[in-house]
Structure 1
Amino acid sequence: MKTIPEWSVMWGDPPGGLEEVELISPDKWIAVRNGQPAPHKPALVTSAWIKIQLPSSIPKDYGMYIEDIRSQRTKVYIDHHVVWEANYHFPYDTQRSLFPISSEDGEKTVYLKLETSMDRLSIYSDVRLGHYTALMRSFMLKDLQNIIFGCSFLFIAAIMLIGSVFLNRGQFQSWAIISVLSLSVGVIFITYSPFMYANFTQYGGIYSASFDVALFLFLPALTYFIERIFDDGRFTWVRWFRKFQMAYSGLLILLMCVNLLSRNQLLNVYFFASVTVLAVIMVCQFILIIGLCIKLVRKGNKEAVIFSSGFAMLASMGILDLTNYYASSGNYQFFLWKWGVIALFIALVVILVRRFAMNQALMMNYSKELEFYNHQLQLSEKMEIISALAASVAHEVRNPLQVTRGFLQLVASRTDGKNQEYMRVAIEELDRASTIITDFLSFSKPQLEDLADLNVANEIKQIEGIIVPLATLHGGRITVHVPSGLYIRGNVSKFKQVLINLIKNSIEAFQEDGEGQIHIWAYEKQEHIYIHIKDNGEGIEPAKLAKLGEPYFSTKTKGTGLGLMVTFQIVEAMKGTIEFKSQRYIETEVVMCFPRVKEAEAG
């Protein structure tokens, strides 16, 4: 592949056309060497001629490729024959030319006639010679990246719009904004490519108008997304600026339609409004976005950090594009900004997905809390019923039971052995009924009286005389590791009742085919006292763990669940918590946590 080292330009169009152009003396032509910036078009000039001298030797199947021609109407002549032309009847002036040349064209001159109603008029790239097939590949693949990116964004927008049908109103707005942004970016990428205008010139006006509309939608949509994500009512200026952008974009679309209907009679007015004024608005928008992001990032807003990363990528790519543009005196085609737009779009999608994940987590937490409070409400209703029953029935039932027990003992002492066994069973059942009534009475008075500072080690030591023989009787043993100096606040008798209930449950859970073991230990952690009671009994199924402490629920055959219910009530009254952990046929562990009382205060 070869590069033409030099070509010449002449401003204006002589009346005689190409015949007169060929006769113009060389001093009227401006020589432009390869790599030099293209000369600026003089004011009021609308046409120009470019002369390119071909080398003497041209191989077979060669072609000439000019990547960047700034003109609306272009004709290429070789030997007075038009070998290539393009005519844009719309405000777009970036063209790309590829045409074949033969070996007979050696040392001939190629003339390009350029016409435009816009500001630029010249060649802004190298003029290359090479095999036509290789040049065609470059010609076709030059903008393939833009088209692929554009179609990808359009596909994403279509999928998101279809998926939005299944979203609620709150989620739909943010989702729709991202869809509009994706749609706008896709259209901008595709319609920015000169390939579309060069190969589908009949639709060029549609492409040009689509590019403008996509840009007009993108800018207010971006501000609206920022308003949805970051504005919590404090930044009213974001809302007002977004409304201004929407109104101005609507005005630009209306002005564009009027200009098209008038066959570009208002092109200068439209250009001023859609380029000059819009550029100022974009600069103001970016400054406001940067200021808002800096403020939110300093406050630790993670979404602002994500957005700032994407926006910084866009800004840096834009700065590099502008630097290259001015360094080459305008002989540069912007392309880095596309990667910045992609980075910004990815950041917006990440923020949206993060918001959806957070909302989903909030919904899950809300559902769990609702289920918990519903369970607590049901439990409270059960407890209220039991409390009312306990207050009204327990005292009335206990007295007849005691009288009946006394008479049974008296009769048992005067009967034979067989009847005495019956009497013993009847008395045991009456005692069990009395125990249930006692639990009812304990529940009917959940408040604690006679509060004192309790030494956990001393309280456990005092009940060892009761629980150790009971464990031995059931073929088990108890080990206790509780350091002194652990103090909690509560009622002595109630606290002992809690410990006895829990340890008694562990003893009753001993498995028949092994030695039962109960390990009790306590410690201090983060201003709280933790008490653990762990056994190697039968364990509790996971489905039943959540129901422990409910009235009338028990894992025992003859249990009522009132013992654990009272235990939960006492622990809660002492401002503590209780938790059960269990593995079936392996172990069960009870963990109680109480606020710590300092030893000095306890003394």
Structure 2
Amino acid sequence: MSTMGETRGFIHRIAISLVLLSFLVPWAHLHAAGEEQVSAITEWQMLWEQPGEEMTIEQVSALGDQDGWFPVKAEGEYPVLPEGIKSAWLKFQLPELSLNRPALNISKLYAKDMLIYIEDSITMERHRNYSYDINEVIVPLSNVESFKTIYVKLVVNIERLGLQNPIEIGEYDDLYRNYIKFDLIDVVLGTGLIFIAFFMMVSMLFLSRRFLPGWNSLFLVMLTIGVMIFTYSSFVDKFFPEYGKVVYILFDVASSLLIPALFSFFEKIFGSGPYGLITKYKTIQKYFIVFYLCLLIASLYSDTISQIYYSVGFIGFTVSILIGNIILLVSLAYQFKSKNKEAMILSTGISIFAGVVLLELLWYFYNNKLYKMFYWKISILFFLASLIIILVRRVMHNYEQAIQYSKQIEIFNNELQRSEKIELISNLAASIAHEVRNPLQVTRGFLQLLGQKSNDRDRSYMTLAIDELDRASEIITDFLTFAKPDLGEVKQIDVSEELQQIAAIIAPLATMSGGSVKLDCDEALLIRGNSSRFKQALINIIKNSIEALGENGKVEINAYKNENNDVVIEVKDNGEGIDPEDLKRLGEPYYSKKTKGTGLGLMVTYRIIEAMNGNLKFESTKGIGTEAYITIRSA
């Protein structure tokens, strides 16, 4: 595989990963918000302001409760905007404020322009020169403003006017934190997709020409969706209102380009579709874009056209999406006849997107356009992921095959090298182990006799020499076990009992190292083997885990049956972990990272598990920990 091919595959994998990971962000956002406890004002009064009879704050505050004011409850039946009415007033009384830094959070406040007064003093105002009417504001308060009356003047230019959500009262810092979180998800998703689109644009330099048409269409789809999600958020309107009109225009432009870009992509993947539906609808959409953009430009200079644009444009966009989804589903059904996997993938994505959008639109109109659609942003990511998967499947097929072949060759080479080393060590161990052990035992005996007749200083040297002879004897024992892993008496072993005994033996060592051992073992796990050899193998693995622990380290031992009815024993630690290169060499003779290690202990462990018709493998992440998996056939 060429360098260009590897780069291409890497780029496509990164693109898919970013989109799929972004699915998780909305759920983290939903669980993160709303943890602070706040009180709420759920009732207020509302006053319609008659055309041509605009009132000042002094006039409004002088009105009695019976002078045109009517009660409104949060999330209750929303008052219908009378014909000809363009402005209204809200008023409510603050409760006693005992917080350190009290504040109000007013959300789902529908108005193009807004002024907020505390008694007769203006405290906040917002004016827009574009058709956006969703407001969410934080109003700082002080304790001296307890029981004062808040007045809010609202001015409308479309069909919505008023307040829907309860008014929250809480600590300023808590409310402001949630105030930022509320739209942060849109910013993260939108900018993430825009970044991916930019990354895709750069990657065009590495693509062959035959992939460019589909890649260009997908780039435009990704860019328009990213811009739509980002600009649909009220984040910019809240924190950078001077750019509100630009954002408003960007959303409409992106939404008008989305459907043509999608159909251009589908045309590259599936052709013109049955009866040429995909190509024909793409052509119709081009004319609709021209009309839509002309109407958008005209709406910037005329309020009348702006109202027409808001109604016609939104309905046109909604209808174009619904018709487009129907055409796509028909085309995909046609592709299903040939069992096209790409059609199945795309149908899944588009079904999720179309279903969610349809439900949200129905709910939007059912609630008199007071519902702010949210879940379409999540569903469109599934749709987008299906598009990416389809294109990447085509580009990466050969790349994945090459990677698979390369991994297989590497595995075969490692197994061959390991087999050769094992055979060499086995022959060497069998030939010298017995010859070396007897002289060592004789030497040890004489050193013990000399130690009894020596002074204290010489006796310490004798003790050190005897310890080293014992270590050499252990190495020779490992050689013999490795050369011929004789299990001795083979019988049925209860894994639960064995592990409990091992945990009791190894627990003091873990405690001395500042760690702990946790055992979780299912009952009735039976295997065949030698109890002593089985303990030797497990203790070797667990000791290695304990030696890798840091402060407050932990070793977990789990045993259970897998779907093949084999017994699986897991040994997990949260130690320092093993580098990938070192992980590949585990079990090699004489390979060890320990100061006095020989590498024979783990080599012997492998041989014992193999002699019991089992399998041993390791997984590790540097800085996180290591996991050992032993799989042995049930008795």
Q: Tell me which interval the TM-score lies in, with the shorter structure as reference length.
A: 0.5 to 0.7
1:280-291 superposed matches below 5 A: 280-291=319-330
1:12 pairs with one of 32, 46, 49? 49
1:203-602 superposed matches below 5 A: 203-231=243-271, 234-260=274-300, 262-264=301-303, 266-322=305-361, 324-325=363-364, 330-358=369-397
Contact 1:68 1:94 in 2 (8 A): yes
Structure 1 stretch displaced more, 159-168 or 287-296 = 287-296
Shift of 1:324: 4.6
- 2:44 counterpart letter in structure 1: W
Contact 1:46 1:117 in 2 (8 A): yes
Superposed CA offset, 1:391-435 (max 9, x none): xxxxxxxxxxxxxxxxxxxxxxxxxxxxxxxxxxxxxxxxxxxxx
Q: Does the residue aligned with 2:159 lie in a helix, a strand or coil?
A: coil
Q: Does the residue aligned with 1:266 lie in a helix, a strand or coil?
A: helix
Structure 1 stretch displaced more, 123-132 or 278-287 = 278-287
Q: What is residue 465 of structure 1 aligned with on the other side? A: none
Q: Does the residue aligned with 1:49 lie in a helix, a strand or coil?
A: strand
- 1:294 counterpart letter in structure 2: A
Q: What is residue 492 of structure 2 aligned with on the other side? A: none
2:110 and 2:257 map into 1 onto residues whose CA distance is 27
Q: Does the residue aligned with 1:90 lie in a helix, a strand or coil?
A: coil
Contact 2:103 2:138 in 1 (8 A): yes
Task: Give the TM-score taking structure 2 as reference length.
Answer: 0.54
Contact 1:86 1:198 in 2 (8 A): no
Contact 2:298 2:306 in 1 (8 A): no
Q: Taking structure 1 as reference, are residues 256 and 5 closer, same or farther at Cα in structure 2, changes over 3 Å only?
A: closer
Q: What is residue 196 of structure 1 aligned with on the other side? A: 236
- 1:182 counterpart letter in structure 2: M
- 2:180 counterpart letter in structure 1: M
Please state if 1:113 is matched with 2:159. no
Shift of 1:225: 1.3
Q: Taking structure 1 as reference, are residues 325 and 248 closer, same or farther at Cα in structure 2, changes over 3 Å only?
A: closer
Shift of 1:304: 1.0
Superposed CA offset, 1:27-75 (max 9, x none): 3222112331432212221101011111134433100001211111001
Shift of 1:21: 1.3
Question: Which of the pair has more CA radius of gyration?
Answer: 1
- 1:219 counterpart letter in structure 2: I
Shift of 1:361: 9.4
Shift of 1:81: 1.3
Superposed CA offset, 1:347-377 (max 9, x none): 00000101223587999xxxxxxxxxxxxxx
1:103 pairs with one of 135, 143, 153? 143
1:273 and 1:330 map into 2 onto residues whose CA distance is 15
2:65 pairs with one of 26, 35, 42? 26
- 2:341 counterpart letter in structure 1: K
Task: Give the TM-score taking structure 1 as reference length.
Answer: 0.57
2:295 and 2:272 map into 1 onto residues whose CA distance is 34
Q: What is residue 425 of structure 1 aligned with on the other side? A: none
Contact 1:68 1:124 in 2 (8 A): yes
Shift of 1:218: 0.7
1:92 and 1:329 map into 2 onto residues whose CA distance is 16
1:161 and 1:231 map into 2 onto residues whose CA distance is 23
Q: What is residue 176 of structure 1 aligned with on the other side? A: 216
1:360 and 1:103 map into 2 onto residues whose CA distance is 67
2:204 pairs with one of 141, 164, 175? 164
Superposed CA offset, 1:233-285 (max 9, x none): 6541210110110221122123322332x254521332344222332222211
Contact 1:72 1:117 in 2 (8 A): yes
**What is the aligned residue count?**
363
Superposed CA offset, 1:436-461 (max 9, x none): xxxxxxxxxxxxxxxxxxxxxxxxxx
Q: Does the residue aligned with 2:88 lie in a helix, a strand or coil?
A: strand
Contact 1:37 1:328 in 2 (8 A): no
- 2:41 counterpart letter in structure 1: I
Q: Does the residue aligned with 1:142 lie in a helix, a strand or coil?
A: helix
Please state if 1:2 is matched with 2:39. yes
Q: Which runs of 4+ in 1 moved over 3 A?
A: 13-16, 232-235, 322-331, 357-363
Contact 1:213 1:253 in 2 (8 A): yes
Contact 2:277 2:327 in 1 (8 A): no
Structure 1 stretch displaced more, 236-245 or 37-46 = 37-46
Contact 2:117 2:123 in 1 (8 A): yes
Please state if 1:61 is matched with 2:101. yes
1:38 pairs with one of 78, 81, 98? 78
2:255 and 2:175 map into 1 onto residues whose CA distance is 32
Shift of 1:86: 1.2
Provide structure 1 residue ranges, at least 5 long, that are not aligned to the other structure.
Answer: 364-603
Q: What is residue 436 of structure 1 aligned with on the other side? A: none
Contact 1:2 1:128 in 2 (8 A): yes
2:208 and 2:77 map into 1 onto residues whose CA distance is 56
2:271 and 2:118 map into 1 onto residues whose CA distance is 63
2:291 and 2:42 map into 1 onto residues whose CA distance is 47
Structure 1 stretch displaced more, 277-286 or 156-165 = 277-286
1:128-139 superposed matches below 5 A: 128-139=168-179
Superposed CA offset, 1:173-232 (max 9, x none): 111111111111111111111121121111111000000000011111111111211125
2:311 and 2:360 map into 1 onto residues whose CA distance is 22
Q: What is residue 89 of structure 1 aligned with on the other side? A: 129
Contact 2:231 2:250 in 1 (8 A): yes
Provide structure 2 residue ranges, at least 5 long, that are not aligned to the other structure.
Answer: 1-37, 403-635
Contact 2:115 2:152 in 1 (8 A): yes
Shift of 1:331: 4.1
Shift of 1:329: 5.3
Q: Taking structure 1 as reference, are residues 65 and 160 closer, same or farther at Cα in structure 2, changes over 3 Å only?
A: same
Q: What is residue 531 of structure 1 aligned with on the other side? A: none
Superposed CA offset, 1:535-587 (max 9, x none): xxxxxxxxxxxxxxxxxxxxxxxxxxxxxxxxxxxxxxxxxxxxxxxxxxxxx
Question: CA RMSD of the aligned region, Å?
Answer: 2.3
